[in-house]
A and B are shown apart, each in its own frame.
Chain A
Amino acid sequence: MVYELSLNEKRLLVVLAELSDDADADEKGAEPILLGEKLNSSFEAVIQYANLLESKELCTVERIVSTYIMRTAEGEQYTIDGLPERQLYESFDVHIPMNELNRHPLAKIGIGWMRRLGWITIQDGIVTKSAAPISDLEQALIHINDTNDLDPKISKELLKRGLIQENEHVSYLIRITPDGQSLAEQGLDLREELGTLTSEQIISGSWRDQPLRRYDVTKQPKRIFPGKIHPYQQLIDEMRHILLAMGFTELHGDVIQSAFWNFDALFQPQDHPAREMQDTFHLAGSRSLPDRWEQVRDIHEHGGETSSTGWGNRWDPEVSKGIVLRTHTTCLSMQAIAQHPSPPHKAFCIGRVYRREAIDPTHTPEFEQLEGIVMDGGVTFGHLMGYLREFYTRMGFEAVRFRPAYFPYTEPSVEPEVYVEGLGWVELGGAGVFREEVTAPWGVSCPVLAWGLGVSRVAMLRMGLRDLRELYQSDIDWVKSYPLISTGGM
């Protein structure tokens, strides 16, 4: 058996072996104070070394707990001044009116006790002394240090009055085991061990003359964590990299948008419920309308030059000038299309969007949305499903299926669903081909495929979160310990 012992453990073992030569001491065990004197170490250090030796079965450490009673500070004071009832008793002659006695600072405690002990009688509001022999409590309190076996009834009373307290005393007895004995007999190298290697020792080679302290690999180090990008941002970056690799250009833009870009350009009728105060954060102020706004008006009113009937209602430019916190990033895609009406164009955006929702575990008034568009002659609804399948597969979802859907600005529309173990088919975003009513005002003549995705939903699935707020009001320990490469989840 080879033992890995530190120098301190070895020194303790040697002292224990010496002491055990004295058969009497061996039986009794060694006290840490005595060992400390011999080793020139503190009491606590001795216990620590002994515990290490005990873990290797080279010694045993017996922990002995005893209790004793002592006076509290209040009890000390009353030992000198007398208990409240005694002080009160001494404070008057034979008679005293009750209301006068009540004015004494100790009256509250003292009067009750005097009555209980039969020291006084009270009649017609007058307190009259009887005899006041030394009570059991007084007796016990004075002699508390001389005795260990206090009448339990009295000690209970003293404890209740807060005059005494029970203290614990812990002592240790350390005994060497036969294994320890025989190890010590074999002789131990008691040379000073090197802890931290110094530059001087490395250069001079003096480290060769001293043993290097060995470490216990079973003892865990203190955990440290690297600085870290938030797990949610990591997921966002993963999506960005997938789309960049698929040839998409990234968009970024203002969180404040005109109703024109946020709604009207997307063929949302001006009386659509989503535009109302209950669903959208409206802001004071307005923005001017861009060029070609008349085309958007015509589309809304009668379908412009397309085969559409339009909504048939009058379209109000003033409503369109109002500003809102963007409710989706589709408004950025629209502006990208308006600025680059000629194909090919592939763009995406991941950004925060705002909806007037009360906060609960699955809703937050702000959250991230992913949005992608593909504009080119000859692209089809089948290609849109191809892009969705490709994206979700790269995100690690193996099975993807498509269901009919409705969005005001796409036609045909589709809802992709992915299969998640344990949850089944989960709806994950919406997609479609931009309606001609959306693209025609900007002179775009080819189809524009578009899809959007709630990024936080993917985050919840990926990270196994049950509350969206975890993403925004994060527990730092969770962020710190969430590994960069996660083997769990999807």
Chain B
Amino acid sequence: MPIISLSNTYLKRLCGIDKEAILSVLPKIGSDIERIEEEHIDTEFFPDRPDLYSTEGVARAIRGYLGIETGEEIYTTTDSGITFTLDENIKSIRPYFGTAVIRDLNFDNDAILSLMGLQEALHWVLGRGRKKVSIGVHNLDVITPPFFYHAVSPDTSFVPLEMEKELTMREILELHPKGRDYAHIVSHLDLFPIITDAHDQVLSFPPIINGELTKVTADTKNLLLDVTGTDERAVTLSLNILCASLMSAGGRCERVRVDDVLLPNLNPSVRSVSVDECNALLGLSLTPDEMITILEKMRFGAELDPTQVDHVLVRVPCYRADIMHDWDVFEDVGIGYGYENIPSSLPSVATIGAEHPIMSALSRVRMACTGLGYIEVMPFTLTNTKLLFDAMRRPPHPGVLSILHPIREEQSVFRTDILPSLLDLLRMNKHRELPQRLFCVGDVVIHEQTLQKLALVSTHPGADFSESYAVATSLCHELGIEHIVQKGSDPAYIEGRLADIIHTKTQAVIGQFGEIHPDVLREFDIDQPVAAFEVMVSQVLYPFPERL
């Protein structure tokens, strides 16, 4: 989530209340306050509310929540007479487009910072790093309509923002800091997106950089907005949020003609929602009028639906990204009512609790192991083939699961056995007192199937085959594992000092026990003999788990 910096003086001016009152209301509308400074409050809002990513948007919500100004903000737009033409050649590259003219701004430094912060946050959250949406803000007074959005050769040149000389678009991707940051979005294209005016002056190279020509300063009075992208919904929302914010900052919005459509469309969308359904979801018993009051506090337009009993007609402001479903409206009713005011109680749902059979079996395994004096450990399940196979002198398991993009080589496969992790823990605890007896029971993955294994290790100067045999026999008895013991050949153990455990029912080898091979011990930097036992628990204590 982006951190939004709210100017204290600006917020105070927009809300008309003091800092303390602002701080007390912020958490209730879903903000996580990160830092409180003399000049500004740094705060986070959830990614479903990008309309709160500007000081103006937060002020709008606070004023509503505190009842200073409730109901919807009306966004009246007039026609600018300006047209924007989209060339066919852009429609396969970055097809979605939004624009608006904002006039009569009286920018101060706080308002400019808020606009820049909003632009950045939208680029990140809705734009996913400018890929889906990017925004340009231009000084309208230095350019001449009509405007064109089209695709041109990368050799086209102009003076980009913060530069003094002309660069080709290709050079911008190499030389300009923003060009380098976002080159990956366009570098594969044959033609690059560009916005130009009637005199072929370059406004912007979306989604990379604006031209120096249209740079916005505190003296700028009239703006042209461009929003380009690959996701229609995100483009429209970004445009609406920007317009709403700039109108809250004192601007007047004018529509621009784009291919026979007038943009922006700041009209609310309308939903008729059921009061009963809302009450049933939240556990409240609001009357329609109470619900309307709360919705207005949350800056919706709301009135009784004349066509349906117990329904409220909700006008959802154009900047609300998150209202996809009636329940999204009801959540706002809950927040407006105050989560702390919703009575919390336990319903009478008649159910009988039951342990999962696997978890119940594993609990018994733990009981048996601790009874033998072993201490449980819970190592990571992600490991690497070096530890899992090479250090164990074992050939790689054909069923081992590899992670496609591991962060580190050390954690690049899912374990097929637990014993190597136990030896690794003995290594980490080398300086601790002996004897050390450890066990772990948990998931392994073999051929994409999640199974459970149990492993035990015992290390001390007298640890030997007999000890492992005794432990294995005892555990098999306690866990009801009918088995026979046969000479084994697992290279992780000393030849002649290990055995395989054969499951009587399936005749499958389900485990091994014995003395760990000294070469393996040296790989794990262990100085004392280790008696070990590992056995498959799945299918032995319970059927193979169903795939869930």
Contacts and interface: CB of A to CB of B under 8 A. Distances in A.
Interface of A: 225-230, 232-233, 237, 240, 243-256, 271, 273, 277, 281-285, 303, 306-313, 323, 325, 332, 335-336, 344-346, 352, 354, 356-359, 364-366, 374, 376, 378-390, 401-406, 411-414, 433, 435-437, 447, 471-477, 479-480
A405 to B, nearest CB: 7
A273 B132 CA distance: 12
Given A250-B354, A381-B281, A480-B375, A412 B345 contact: no
B282 A381 contact: yes
B355 A406 contact: no
Interface in B326-380: 326-328, 330-331, 334-335, 339-340, 342-347, 349-356, 358-359, 363, 366, 369-380
A385 B375 contact: no
Interface string B449-477: 11000000000000000000000000000
Top 9 nearest A-B pairs (CB, nearest first) are A382-B283, A253-B548, A380-B283, A406-B46, A385-B344, A412-B331, A227-B370, A404-B30, A308-B325
14 contacts: A230-B375, A244-B354, A271-B128, A281-B403, A281-B404, A281-B406, A312-B232, A325-B403, A352-B381, A352-B443, A390-B346, A406-B48, A411-B327, A436-B325
Interface of B: 27-30, 46-49, 128, 132, 231-233, 271, 280-284, 322, 324-328, 330-331, 334-335, 339-340, 342-347, 349-356, 358-359, 363, 366, 369-382, 401-408, 411, 414, 425, 428-429, 432-433, 436-438, 443, 445, 448-450, 545, 547-548
B79 to A, nearest CB: 28
A473 B407 CA distance: 19
Nearest to A408: B48
A473 B30 contact: no
Contacts of A366: 380-382
B231 A313 contact: yes
A381 B403 contact: no
B346 A387 contact: yes
A230 B350 contact: no
B548 A249 contact: no
A384 B345 CA distance: 8
Contacts of B425: 473-474, 476
Query: Which applies to chain A's interface (DSSP): helix, strand, loop or mixed?
Result: mixed
A413 B425 CA distance: 41
A245 B231 contact: no
A227 B429 contact: no
B351 A247 contact: yes
Nearest to A469: B380
A444 B67 CA distance: 38
Nearest to B331: A412
A402 B324 CA distance: 24
In this complex, which of A255, A335, A380 has the most chain B Cβ atoms within 10 angstroms of its Cβ?
A: A380
B374 A227 contact: yes
Contact of A229 (B355, B376, B405): B376
A306 B324 CA distance: 10
Contacts of B371: 227
Contact of B46 (A226, A252, A374, A405): A405
A226 B370 contact: yes
Contacts of A382: 282-284, 342-345
Nearest to B548: A253
Contact of B353 (A248, A273, A436): A248
Given A255-B443, A476-B438, A379 B373 contact: no
A433 B327 contact: yes
Given A226-B373, A383-B347, A404-B335, A244 B282 contact: no
A403 B432 contact: no
Contacts of B359: 240, 250, 252
In this complex, which of B49, B402, B403, B433 has the most chain A Cβ atoms within 10 angstroms of its Cβ?
A: B403
Contacts of B29: 404
Contacts of B404: 277, 281-284
Nearest to B325: A308
A283 B401 contact: yes
Nearest to B346: A386
Given A344-B349, A472-B380, A335 B548 contact: yes
